[in-house]
Every structure is written in structure tokens, then in C-alpha cells.
Amino acid sequence: MRWLVSLAFALLLTKLALAQCAMCKANVIASGDNNLAAGLRAGILLLMAMPYLIIGTAAVAIYLAHRRSLRWRMEN
């Protein structure tokens, strides 16, 4: 039951977050400042890259641990 309440709360916040993204986009378009737009794009790319870097690092660590385990089993 607790996870259902957490899920409902997260879904309610999603709409608020999407509204803020739309407001940022509208402000950048209205300002006409190319430096601001470039900074916003760089920030978005950074935020998008982090989950991939974290998951990729964990996957490589698991793969290397698995290979090390197999090598140890073959030696013993």
C-alpha cells in the first residue's frame, strides 16, 4: 500500500515538473539569448548523460566481477 501512495505522489509531481520544463523553454525562446539557450541545452545533456554513466559503470563492474569469479573457479 505504501508503494502505491508513493507512486501516486510521484505521478502528481511529474505534471508539475513538465510544466516547469515548458516554462524554461518558453523563457529561453522569449529572451532570444543564444548563450542562455546553449547553457540550457548543455545542462539538459548533462542531466541525460548521468543515468547512462551510472548504469554503465555498474554494468562494467558487474561484468568484471563475473569474469574474475569465472577465472578463479577455473584455477581452483
- Provide the residue-wise pLDDT of the chain in tens; the chain has 76 residues: 788 888 787 777 666 655 566 677 777 778 777 787 788 888 888 888 999 999 999 999 999 999 999 999 998 7
CA distance 22 to 63: 40
**Which helix or strand (DSSP H or E) is residue 27 part of?**
helix 2-31
| pTM as predicted | 0.52
CA distance 64 to 48: 25
Instruction: Write the single-letter amino acid at 12.
Output: L
Range of the domain at 5: 1-73
Helices (H) and strands (E) in the chain, counts: 2, 0
What one-character DSSP code corresponds to residue 1?
-
Q: How many domains does the chain have?
A: 1
Cell numbers describing residue 8: 501516486
